[in-house]
Amino acid sequence: MAIIQPIAVELEPHPDVALVERVRGGDVSAYDTLVRKYERQIFRIAQHITQNREDAEDVMQDAFLKAYEKLEQFQGNSKFYTWLVRIAVNESLMRLRKRRTGKMVSIDEDVETEEGSVPRDLADWAPDPEQNYNQSELAEILRKTIQGLPQGFRIVFVLRDVEGLSTEETAETLGLSIPAVKSRLLRARLQLRERLSRYFRRKKGPGETRNEK
Amino acid sequence: MTCSEFLALLDDLIDDSVTAETRAELQAHLHGCEHCEVTLNTTRKTIEIYRSHEIYDLPAGLRERLHAAIMARCKKGC
């Protein structure tokens, strides 16, 4: 009888692990590599949360400096990137708090809304709807639309769908439960979809002719 | 399956984390429900569009300046 052998899963260590070790050993150039690898993402996340360019620049610098200072505390049981994102999220929230002169800012802000729970606008979109706009118009539409989301939904959507963190990593980064991340993600996706429908819906009606060959 | 039940599983379907059995039920619902089909397709498109468009660009000049500032401070021991 055939014996089913357990498959030996050799997990390749993440390439960041070696870089982090080199930095710990005093090799600053290895940190240079890590900064280059993640600076765009960290800037984007900071910009999404603070919605302010100068703040995002400051957050990006502060997050990388803080990560460098605290590298000894990095346990290695999460990915370096996830750990860095957590620092950037906290720095961004602190920056917002300063701007609002001490008013509490949290990722739980405005999440009680029921908007978007049930899709209302069920119009189908045009095929490749983004092609109806030039690059800068489209970027403006996407910025305006995502900025309108409640903070607590926006951060979850950005981490999960734009930056590609898993549900578990997003939960860990934001200090939320997995069901909370899932519920926020669904509502964020549905609200964005609903809001984008204004721009992307298939146009019908007077003056529109179908262009079929 | 009702539309509400479909909607509750929408994310799992999009993220491909449903069992084959659930997937078949979802497909069966989609077959007869244009609204849910539109919701699924346009939600997928929403995610794809945000993933593929850089809406907060970090221009190369600014990136180099910020990068240099970070590294200068790190070399000094922050």
Q: According to CATH, what is the number of the domain A129-200?
A: 1.10.10.10
Same fold, A15-99 and A129-200: no
Residue boundaries of the structural domains of chain A: 15-99, 129-200
Interface size, chain A vs chain B, as Cβ–Cβ contacts under 8 Å: 104
Contacts of A65 in chain B (CB under 8 A): 70, 73-74, 78
Axis crossing angle, helix A28-50 with helix A53-69, rounded to the nearest 10: 140
Is the CB of residue A15 less than 8 Å from the CB of residue A69? no
Per-residue pLDDT of chain A (213 residues; tens, 9 = 90+): 555 555 555 567 788 999 999 999 999 999 999 999 999 999 999 999 999 999 999 999 999 999 999 998 888 778 899 999 999 999 999 998 888 765 555 656 555 555 556 666 677 898 888 888 999 999 999 999 999 999 999 999 999 999 999 999 999 999 999 999 999 999 999 999 999 999 998 876 555 444 433
Residue A123: how many other CB atoms lie within 10 Å: 14
CB A39 to CB B41 under 8 A? no
DSSP A106-118: -TTTTTT--TTSS
Cα separation, A92 vs A18, in Å, equals 28
CB A28 to CB B75 under 8 A? yes
CB A36 to CB B47 under 8 A? no
Axis crossing angle, helix A28-50 with helix B60-75, rounded to the nearest 10: 130
CB B62 to CB A190 under 8 A? no
Cα separation, A212 vs A13, in Å, equals 53
| Cα four-point dihedral sign A157, A163, A165, A170 | negative
What's the pLDDT tens digit per position in B47-63?
A: 999 999 989 988 888 88
Domain A15-99 has CATH 3.40.462.10: no
